[in-house]
Amino acid sequence: MTYQFGVSYFSNRMPEHFVKDLEEMRKKGCNQLLLTFSENDREFYKETIREFVALAHEYEMKVALGPWGVGGVFGGEAYSNYAAQYYEHRQLLNNDDRPPSACLNNPHFRDFFSEWFKDAIDCGTDAIFYDEPHFFLPGWNNLYAADDASVWGCCCRYCRERFETMYGKSMPDSETDEVKTFKREMILDFLKFASCKIKKVKAEVETQVCLITDEQFLQTDIADRLAQIPELDNVGTDPYWGFKTGKELEDYLSNEFTQACKILSEVQQKYQKTTHLWIKNFLVKSGTEDAIKKAVDIAVAHDIRSILAWSYQGTRYMKIRCDDPDLVWETLTERFQHYLLK
């Protein structure tokens, strides 16, 4: 039984330091790596990223590049120059405001994203990783002040046109169930669009998606639908447990976390797709590190063979660091090594 274990890696762009980290990762059982490739990376560090990919390959690591914060439609703390530059291509909210997030249905953004993944492929990556593609979420990422749950998007002209095509009527003013279904379909449509184009650019590049483990993932058929996109190779999710502790954390692991693993496991069996799961290795509170061990064990027990943590060394270098990054890193990689030796 082969496992793929890994972490996300960002912040450092100096190859000599990266090599030391690659040695540490390999020593601790990692054999895959997600490198963030933000708009800033693409503009100023593309050649360095190409070098990073080559170095990771020398260490026999599989590499995925992720659009960290690209367009403000993917997860990640990176800012989007696209959203800053193209106000008219941002999503349109029901309060007529435009948050710093592009619209997945906007053809201009789709062209921009196509240029992004062509550059990522040009860097030699093995996989393209769509990280948490989403429509506007109130209060998410500190990028937009509104945390009023009644604020929603997108109502731009492209979304309105597509809604009309889908339902044969105008988009309503409130976020009805039909609107929610529409947005879900448009996430699928975007992923299909991008994956088809990626396969045309380079067929061997693996396409991977991680959806936020929200109600949509846990309670709708979106994982099933993703798995039915032939050009999408790998389906995953990230059941992070927030700041839960004690019984609340235990409950999360045995309910939502386990449910997410079950969904992936079913997708794997039904559609013969590969799957992956993310483990929380940021903002882990002191005394809750054991949840990492349990989380890896639950995932493996559900036959998930690709497991990654966000991020390297308990995210020690960033504001979202764990209380005890060393313990988090040791706990995680002890499990990696345990299963690799089995």
Binding residues for Zn ion, rule: CB under 5 A, are 103, 105, 154, 156, 159
| Shortest separation between residue 168's beta carbon and Zn ion, angstroms | 19
| Shortest separation between residue 120's beta carbon and Zn ion, angstroms | 24
Residue 184: which of 162, 169, 161 has the closest Cα? 162
Nearer to Zn ion, 129 or 182 (CB): 182
CA 74 – CA 131 distance, rounded (Å): 5
- Coil vs helix vs strand at 308: strand
Look at the alpha carbons of 228, 229, 233, 237 in this order and tell me if their dihedral is positive or negative: negative
Nearer to Zn ion, 159 or 223 (CB): 159
For tokens 């994956």, name the residue: 195
Query: Contact 221/263 with Cβ under 8 angstroms?
Result: no
| Neighbouring C-alpha atoms within 13 Å toward the C-beta of 250 | 2
Nearer to Zn ion, 92 or 322 (CB): 92
| Shortest separation between residue 135's beta carbon and Zn ion, angstroms | 8
| Shortest separation between residue 207's beta carbon and Zn ion, angstroms | 23
Nearer to Zn ion, 120 or 155 (CB): 155
Nearer to Zn ion, 103 or 277 (CB): 103
Token readout for 81 is 């120059």
CA 91 – CA 99 distance, rounded (Å): 7
| Shortest separation between residue 91's beta carbon and Zn ion, angstroms | 5
Nearer to Zn ion, 103 or 260 (CB): 103
Rounded to 10 deg, the angle between the 46-58 and 15-27 helix axes is 30
Token readout for 217 is 């993932």
Nearer to Zn ion, 73 or 156 (CB): 156
Nearer to Zn ion, 94 or 306 (CB): 94
Query: Contact 252/244 with Cβ under 8 angstroms?
Result: yes
**SS in 3 state form for 269-292?**
HHHCCEEEEEEECCCCCCCCCHHH
| Shortest separation between residue 236's beta carbon and Zn ion, angstroms | 25
DSSP string across 124-153: T-SEEEEE---S--TT-TTSS----TT--B
Phi-psi region of 152 (alpha: psi -120 to 50; beta: other; left: phi over 0): beta
| Shortest separation between residue 156's beta carbon and Zn ion, angstroms | 3
| Shortest separation between residue 144's beta carbon and Zn ion, angstroms | 15
| Shortest separation between residue 335's beta carbon and Zn ion, angstroms | 41
Nearer to Zn ion, 103 or 307 (CB): 103
Q: Biggest alpha carbon distance in the chain?
A: 58
CA 112 – CA 110 distance, rounded (Å): 5
CA 144 – CA 91 distance, rounded (Å): 12
